[in-house]
Amino acid sequence: MSIDTLEDLYLEQLKDIYSANKQAHDVTKAMAEAATDKGLADALMAGAKGIETGNHALEVIAKGHDESPSGEHCKGMEGLVKEARAHALDESFGEDAVRDAMIVTQYQRLVHYAIAGYGCLAAFADRLELDNDAEKLKKCLDASYDGDRTMTDLATGGINQYAVA
């Protein structure tokens, strides 16, 4: 597909973030299972549910443009997922709190990709005057920011402190 217009770019990037979310979902659940801090595990499970909600919104948006959200494979998220598995799940740690701190680090990298993707899509939707799309995308963006803030609060509220010991 040739990307000739902002609408073409918008639909291509919608497929990219849909692929990214699909890839991030499973590793997020795996990190939730590996987390020893209950607050972290709960926040990650909420993050996995948020990813599902985001992908549902992307499906609705794509359908409104007579498109399928599938068809792309996000190589950027593929790399982030590979790093999350290697560093948070497959690595050995002497202390559970240190693993939890690494899980926070890896999840925030995943969510920052989502923030960038949803932010660009919302800006494109605004410019294209796709108000309903923009509203849905801004909700996804806000949820991603909330997930990032939750991870920062968990890290600074105790996880990093316990990892020092």
- Rounded to the nearest integer, the mean pLDDT of the chain is 96
Q: Other C-beta atoms within 10 Å of 72: how many?
A: 17
H runs (alpha helix) in 35-158: 38-64, 75-84, 96-127, 131-154
Q: Which two tokens stand for residue 64?
A: 């409104």
For 118, the domain range is 6-164
Q: Is residue 9 classed as helix, strand or coil in its secondary structure?
A: helix
Give domain status of residue 94, yes or no. Answer: yes
Q: Which two tokens stand for residue 126?
A: 């605004």
Residues 117 and 111: their CA atoms lie apart, in Å, by 10
Domain count, the chain: 1
- The predicted-structure confidence for 81-127, as pLDDT tens digits, reads as follows 999 999 999 999 999 999 999 999 999 999 999 999 999 999 999 99
Is the overall model pTM greater than 0.75, yes or no? yes
Give domain status of residue 1, yes or no. Answer: no
Give domain status of residue 65, yes or no. Answer: yes
For residue 54, give the nearest of 28, 32, 80, 79 by alpha carbon. Answer: 28
Cβ–Cβ under 8 Å, residues 18 and 67: no
Give domain status of residue 78, yes or no. Answer: yes
| CATH number, domain with residue 115 | 1.20.1260.10
pLDDT in the model for residue 71: 87
Cβ–Cβ under 8 Å, residues 10 and 62: no
| Helix (H) / strand (E) containing 27 | helix 6-34
